[in-house]
Chains A and B, each alone.
Chain A
Amino acid sequence: MSSQEIVPAVTPAVPLIEVQHVSKYFGSVIALQDVSMSVYAGEVMCLLGDNGAGKSTLIKILSGVHQPSEGRYLVNGKEVHFSSPREALNAGIATVYQDLAMIPLMGISRNFFLGSEPTKGWGPFSRYDAAFADRVTREELAKIGIRLRDAAQPIGTLSGGERQAVAIARAVYFGAKVLILDEPTAALGVKEAGIVLRYIAQARARGLGVIFITHNVHHAYPIGDRFTLLNRGRCSGTFTKFEVSREEVVAMMAGGDELEVLGHELAEFAYTDQIAAAQLAEAAHEFAEEAVEFHEVEKQPDSEQERNT
């Protein structure tokens, strides 16, 4: 069950990063088995899979958090063994996690340069170069269409999609060649997700390789060049956009048979719903009749009482 390796004609021969037949075991648990995938410069590779499919394990291997139990990891065609995320970062592989590593009440430019602050001056007089940080942040964000008047405003004032975009811009600015985006659109509304997808397209246009992890086919399909599907820790294939339709991707992601079963179940629900609705309508009708009767009954004792007094 190894994956088909399909290299599109438009991409260069050597992928930026590639994993070959990697497996990852946690004790006796098989998190990932015999998975191969690659990403080339200037393409968006979508890593698709349902929850628990092994997406997180794979990106943790790619970003240097985990080491594969088996298989090879190649960067520019050379085998590497990362022992920390920092090493992967130095090799130009930047991962933008869902929580974004940002301090909401801190200024945008300070967040942008957090951990890699620009300084001016020498020795004990070296100081944070706020003017440089503000200028670069403004420029880099302008490139992706966010215009800031005040780069020092708290980053919490930006929307979720914009913050995601700042994280991407930061990775690009600090020399990332490969961007790994972990569910960047998961917590976002439709419009916000659109903003992020646009920035992914821009990163691709700049020649970066993008690995876009998602379980939302509707976000992946418009932007993706190739799709690698993970299912229960295994790779169920890599496809170019020309080879598969959106519906086929959905079917493969969830497992076609399961979807069919689900379809039947839903039909069943709808049927039982119809019965329930009919019963409810009947009950409502009866209730209405009773209410009328009750109303009449209630009036009678009143008139009786009046007679008694």
Chain B
Amino acid sequence: MNVIQESAGSAATSERMLRANPLRRLLVRPETGAVAGSIAVWVFFAIVAGDSGFLTLLGVKDYLSVTAELTIQAVPVALLMIGGEFDLSVGSIVGTCGMIIAILSTKYNWNIWASIVAALLFSVLIGVLNGYLVLRTRLPSFIVTLGTAYILLGTTTGLTSLLTGLTQVGGLDQASGYNSAKAIFARLISIGGGAFPVEIIWALALVVLATWLLLRTTFGNWIFGVGGDAQAVRNVGVPVARVKILLFIGTAVCSCLLAIIQAVTFTGADVLRGQGNEFTAIVSAVVGGVLLTGGYGSAIGSMFGALVFGIVEEGIVFAGVDANWYKAFIGVILLLAVLLNSYVRKLAMEARR
């Protein structure tokens, strides 16, 4: 037996050594594709639309604020997808929560902060409901949350027109507490002569929080685990149901945050606001390196995924191209990003050779 062990030792040393290759380690990170994509589209529009305002502070502000709004939903959706689930109700939650705030504060004269708390509590409830339904029925979350999305949209539209006779509610700036809410959610911050909306700070804070959660906490390890192999991590004692329900709460609460920002910024709500966000959030996450089957991805990558969206959406306007081309452009980028990401993952798994 000694002989066997000795040979094991020597064979192990030679075979198990990794070649340290910093470039490769950088390449195999999940966010690599999205960062490269962001740079590529930025350079493209800097060339195409550089002299028509894309490079001005106004241009920067435009694509950064689009990016920020996308990021606020893309980051929690990325976390949920890493945890192996989808949430297609995030778009409808924006409409519903915005309407809760607008109706409570304009029709029932609630202080805006009270309406905001009510909307946040409601979003927590929706998150719990989504998570509970998915875990209880064992149906794909894709279908379950599509169901809640339609229920929310339909109920919100129905109730809003029942209460106000319209599907849009304005006049939120007349509500008590509006000014303090505006200072938190919708103020403009001047940096270098340009006025940037505060939602950019919210988005960055969310990215930092999500990254810290994913990489520096036990809970983050569990997120990767439940998405990678739920049965396996259950066997080692990870509370799979709790992790997934918390992730669903995360997507719902962040959607509510976006609803608050938009309601305060536009001083009102529209039942259709947020529709389609469920897909842009998923696309941002996927462009940002999140694996559709779960277990892999990053929050920073998702932010860059959203940045690709933001640059393309605003860049096309600056380039003077018909904005209808925007979706075609996004489709091409999505396909390229997915191809690149799957190649990066292949590299990661072959890192030893």
Q: Which residues of chain A come closer than 8 Å to B9, judged between CB atoms?
A: 145
- In this complex, which of A86, A157, A201 has the most chain B Cβ atoms within 10 angstroms of its Cβ? A157
Number of A-B contacts (CB under 8 A): 104
Are A119 and B225 in contact, CB atoms less than 8 angstroms apart? Answer: no
Chain B residues within 8 Å of chain A by Cβ, number? 39
- In this complex, which of A104, A128, A158, A198 has the most chain B Cβ atoms within 10 angstroms of its Cβ? A128
> Main SS of the interface on chain B?
helix
Of A86, A148, A154, A201, the contact of B16 (CB 8 Å cutoff): A148
Are B225 and A149 in contact, CB atoms less than 8 angstroms apart? Answer: no
Q: Which residues of chain A come closer than 8 Å to B91, judged between CB atoms?
A: none
Are A195 and B8 in contact, CB atoms less than 8 angstroms apart? Answer: yes
Are B218 and A146 in contact, CB atoms less than 8 angstroms apart? Answer: no
Q: Which residue of B lies closest to A191 (CB)?
A: B11
| Complex Cα spacing A107 to B148, Å | 35
Q: Which of A93-142 contact B (CB under 8 A)?
A: 97, 99-106, 110, 113-117, 119, 126-128, 130
Are A157 and B224 in contact, CB atoms less than 8 angstroms apart? Answer: no
| Complex Cα spacing A104 to B229, Å | 9
0/1 per residue, A50-92, Cβ < 8 Å to B? 0000000000000000000000000000000000011000000
| Complex Cα spacing A127 to B18, Å | 28
Are A154 and B221 in contact, CB atoms less than 8 angstroms apart? Answer: no
Of A86, A99, A113, A202, the contact of B221 (CB 8 Å cutoff): A113
Q: Which of B189-226 contact A (CB under 8 A)?
A: 212, 215-218, 220-221, 224-225
Instruction: Decide: A128 near B228, CB < 8 A? Known: A101-B236, A201-B4.
Output: no
Q: Which residues of chain A come closer than 8 Å to B351, judged between CB atoms?
A: 153-154, 157
Instruction: Decide: A114 near B5, CB < 8 A? Known: A146-B12, A146-B16, A150-B18.
Output: no
Residue B162 is within 8 A (CB to CB) of chain A in the complex: no
| Complex Cα spacing A126 to B4, Å | 43
Are B17 and A149 in contact, CB atoms less than 8 angstroms apart? Answer: yes
Are A105 and B225 in contact, CB atoms less than 8 angstroms apart? Answer: no
Are B225 and A130 in contact, CB atoms less than 8 angstroms apart? Answer: no
| Complex Cα spacing A100 to B235, Å | 10
Residue A263 is within 8 A (CB to CB) of chain B in the complex: no
Are A128 and B218 in contact, CB atoms less than 8 angstroms apart? Answer: yes
Are B225 and A106 in contact, CB atoms less than 8 angstroms apart? Answer: yes
Q: A102-B229, A150-B20 are known; give 20 further A-B pairs, CB within 8 A.
A: A85-B235, A86-B237, A99-B232, A100-B232, A103-B228, A103-B295, A106-B295, A110-B224, A114-B236, A117-B221, A126-B217, A145-B11, A145-B12, A147-B17, A149-B20, A154-B349, A156-B349, A157-B350, A195-B8, A201-B1
